[in-house]
Structure 1
Amino acid sequence: MSRFEDLTYRFCRIGVGISFLVLILTVLTQVLGRTFSSSPVWTEELTRFALLYMVAFGAGLSLRSGDLVNVDVVCDSLPGRWPWRLRLVSTVMTAVLCGLLILPAWKYVSIGVMQTSPAMLLRMDFIHFTVFGLLVTLLLFATFRIYRMVFAGEDGKADIREELE
């Protein structure tokens, strides 16, 4: 399980990096285009698409690193095992919600086969896939946290190892 989690973590980090690079290059093209003449039409769409992919890859990473919204002040002030229990319940609820939304998200992706983006003429299922991907990455990272909490005895707090790397 640890090896699969590491591979997923690296894949998502690479995905965020590539998405961010595409976003930077597209915005640079847009700015330079507006500075010297007119900006290409496709840059508006590509910036949105890159941002969607960056969020899809980054959501699970944010859950892992603790960058999503937390109520640690409330949880950590409770006595005994209550903070651990609340972190486990919230992680299980996140995983269940993602699991419930995966099939409707896939239906949303499949509808995109019949649509194209106006400027780039890209099939929209490639773009709608970001919603499905976001749910899958959140589900995976929530499952990893649940596994570590229940079977490895971890406290469920954010993973600070990545800050040390």
Structure 2
Amino acid sequence: MNRLSQHIRTLLRVGTGISFLVLIIAVAIQVTARNFGTSPVWTEELARYALLYLAGFGTGLALLTGDLVNVDLVSESLPGRFPWLLRFISALLVLPFCLLLVLPAWKFTSIGAMQTSPAMGLPMNYVHGSILLLLVVLAFAALARCIEMLTGASDGRPENLSGEIE
């Protein structure tokens, strides 16, 4: 499971990086072109789609690494195993919510095959697929996080804390 998790983390990092790169390029073209008149219409659309895929890849990665936003002011001040238990329950609750939404997201994605984006002419199922990707990746991340916490491979805290005083 650890090797599979590492491969998935690498894939998610690459997907997040490519999405962010596409977003940067689209916005750079848009801003630069405005200095010479008007920017191409497709840059606005591409930036939105890149942002959707950035969320699709990045949200699961953030949950896997513990970097997803947490409200831990109260939970981490509790005694004993309560902080661990709350982190585990949070990850555990994400799983059924994602799985519950996968089928509707699949239907939403398949409907997009009958539509095209206005500026780029891209079949919308590629765009709508970002939501399906987000749910599947987030479900996997929640499952992996629960397994890691149950096996003791992780305590559910963020992996890369910076600026923390021990």
TM-score (norm 2): 0.91
Which residue does 2:37 correspond to in 1?
Answer: 37
Counterpart residue identity of residue 98, structure 1: C
In the TM superposition, what whole-angstrom CA distance separates every residue of 1:41-72 from its partner, at most 9, and x where no partner exists? Answer: 11110010111111111001121333322122
Secondary structure at 1:116 match in 2: coil
**Which segment drifts farther, 141-150 or 72-81?**
72-81
**Which segment drifts farther, 120-129 or 70-79?**
70-79
Which residue does 1:156 correspond to in 2?
Answer: 156
Question: How do 1:4-83 and structure 2 match up within 5 A?
Answer: 4-83=4-83
- Count of residues in correspondence between the two structures: 161
> Please, which runs of 5 or more residues in structure 2 have no aligned partner?
162-166
> Please, which runs of 5 or more residues in structure 1 have no aligned partner?
none
**How many angstroms apart in 2 are the aligned matches of 1:51 and 1:153?**
32
Q: Which runs of 4+ in 1 moved over 4 A?
A: none
Which residue does 1:124 correspond to in 2?
Answer: 124
**How many angstroms apart in 2 are the aligned matches of 1:3 and 1:38?**
48
**How many angstroms apart in 1 are the aligned matches of 2:58 and 2:79?**
33
In the TM superposition, what whole-angstrom CA distance separates every residue of 1:2-58 from its partner, at most 9, and x where no partner exists? Answer: 111011100011011111111111111111211112211111100101111111110
Q: Is the contact between residue 64 and residue 159 of structure 1 (CA under 8 Å) also seen in structure 2?
A: no
Which residue does 2:87 correspond to in 1?
Answer: 87
Report the alpha carbon displacement of residue 153 of structure 1 after superposing the two structures with TM.
Answer: 5.3
Q: Is the contact between residue 16 and residue 58 of structure 1 (CA under 8 Å) also seen in structure 2?
A: yes
Report the alpha carbon displacement of residue 97 of structure 1 after superposing the two structures with TM.
Answer: 0.7
TM-score (norm 1): 0.92
Aligned-residue CA RMSD (Å): 1.4
Secondary structure at 1:23 match in 2: helix
Secondary structure at 2:35 match in 1: helix
**How many angstroms apart in 1 are the aligned matches of 2:69 and 2:20?**
22
Counterparts in 2 of 1:34 and 1:153: CA distance versus 1, 3 Å: closer
Q: Is the contact between residue 75 and residue 82 of structure 1 (CA under 8 Å) also seen in structure 2?
A: yes
